[in-house]
Amino acid sequence: MCTAGWAQSYRSVSVWSNGKNSDFSLATLDSISLADDNNTVSFYANKTQSVNASDIDSITISVPDVTSTNKKTVSQLKEAFKSVVIETSTFKPVGKNNPLMGHKFGADPWGLVVGDRLYVYMTDDHLYRSTDGKPITGAYDYSDCKKVAIISSEDLVNWTDHGTQPVAGSGAPAAWAGNMWAPCAAYKTINGKQKYFLYFSNNSNGIGVLTADTPYGPWSDPKGGALINHSTANCAGNVVPSVYDPAVLIDDDGKAYLYFGGGTDNLDLADPASARCVQLGSNMTSIVGTPVEIRPPYHFEDSGINKVGGKYLYSYCAHFQTGGKAPGSGNIGYMKSDNPLGPFTFVGTCFENPGGAGWSGGGGNNHHAIVEFKGKYYILYHNRSLKSAMRSSNSDINDNVELRSTCISPITVDTVKAEIKNLTASSITQEGVSQLKNFDPYVKVPGATMAWEKNVTTDYHKSGNTYVCTAEMKAGSWMCLSKVDFQEGPIAFSARVKGRGVIKICTTRPGKLGKDVAYMEVESAQLYKNLTVPLVNVPTGVVNQLYIVSSGNLSIESWSFVK
């Protein structure tokens, strides 16, 4: 008997026998043997197969331009998962697209379109923790929100987490500020360079602004203090109780405007007149003139601004004491103007509070942003659906814990009449929006990119001269991506990763029978390393769901498939 072993750098062996073809992946092939005594060729893999040597027309070995970094055989790597418990239940169900994130919370969303991506900026809702890092049961404190959470997507289903990034407090860019609430963002070319601007609420005491060279930071403070506060003309506490919740608009002529304000303390509930708008300076970090009064009926918080059909649509959240008057308790109303600084005229309700609607549950305030993306309009908003799903398994979560999650739904905007059709709370669904395009696995994919997950967290940290957000996985953790396009056949899987364990790529939910795509051995606990492995099976066409599963403690910085 003559036996030959094959290195995993080979892709496959194709055997033509009696005019029929059989393919064997060399990643799973342990050996090939020729038995002279019975004139057979045997292929030893997961399933041993023998062929009569006299029937073989040809054997072809396919060799891709890739060498495996694995030291163990695939059979040995599979053993790493035998003792791993993989949970399949999720707080954000696989196949449901709302909320946008299942691995963390995020509230008060703002949407910014940059090229082919929609970036979403959010308040960092999280379980309030004591100095020893343990959750405080039943406690939530808005004063603990000091960071901005940023995610982005090309298809509105698979989202990249860019990290929960420091904004306010000691050691943060805006060290003078106590909080980061309700951010909004814009970009503008200044002195030939595209710059990004993040406006945020310092509690209800003022608006700050940060700048960056990318839509996802890192951020710096150009002023060292507030852009607007109660000392700003026409913004004193007796007329604008809360200087917060900014919205920004850059007009067609390049001029920019900021909208903000709210609160009803000692003011007429039906007409508090506590909203303001002001032109920004050409540098986007100063204001021009005195903020102008806007008078939305029953206004409480949450400014939004859109230019539609040559008109300026200002939207806002009403308080809960409207007495049945429009726009209704906790709903989003909107106004219209011919000019960015008004005067604005009330139109009606455009979005009902989703708090009591079906799956979203949980009550609470409303907050929104309307954005045009790839030719359609969407509304971003928050609800408490993830909190509701987690309550039965987490005793730290109860009615007193304020944990909100960002969602997205289509909304109808008449661009001719410059009107927004009211989106009722009963019309929003957990299914959310349809995926706008298939996911490209051949580009460099940031590690913290997912549609669904189980037991995955993310970590924002400096790597070399830049900042990255990584997916942090433990034994049994998994991430899932939707509609991954393998129309061009891949030959290998690459990742930049550290830790100890095995990564498994598969096309069915972990714990169920299905097709394995690749196994990657990771043995670098301290340093991120670039690893590449051949495929166990080659996926073709569009894979509805692709899973990345971990057998140990792993940190994934980026990954891609190799054509």
43, 32 Cβ separation under 8 angstroms: yes
Which one from 154, 161, 221, 301 is the annotated catalytic residue? 301
- The backbone region for 38, taken as left when phi is positive above 0, alpha when psi lies in -120 to 50, beta otherwise, is alpha
CA 524, distance to chain mean position in Å, is: 27
160, 449 Cβ separation under 8 angstroms: yes
User: How many Å apart are CA 356 and CA 425, to the nearest integer?
Assistant: 8
User: Could you tell me the maximum CA-CA distance found in the chain, to the nearest angstrom?
Assistant: 99
**Phi–psi pair at 76, nearest 5 degrees:** -70, -40
Spatial neighbors of 544 by CB under 8 A, at least 6 apart, are: 482, 483, 507
User: How many Å apart are CA 174 and CA 186, to the nearest integer?
Assistant: 18
57, 19 Cβ separation under 8 angstroms: yes
201, 184 Cβ separation under 8 angstroms: no
* DSSP structural state of residue 106: -
User: How many Å apart are CA 341 and CA 347, to the nearest integer?
Assistant: 17
Tokens of 502: 């095995």
* DSSP structural state of residue 489: P
Active site residue 402: no
Tokens of 395: 């005793």
* Residue that the structure tokens 């939910």 belong to: 509
Tokens of 497: 């990763």
Active site residue 108: yes
User: What is the sign of the dihedral through the CA atoms of 73, 75, 76 and 81?
Assistant: positive
**Phi–psi pair at 385, nearest 5 degrees:** -65, -40
Catalytic residue numbers read: 108, 301
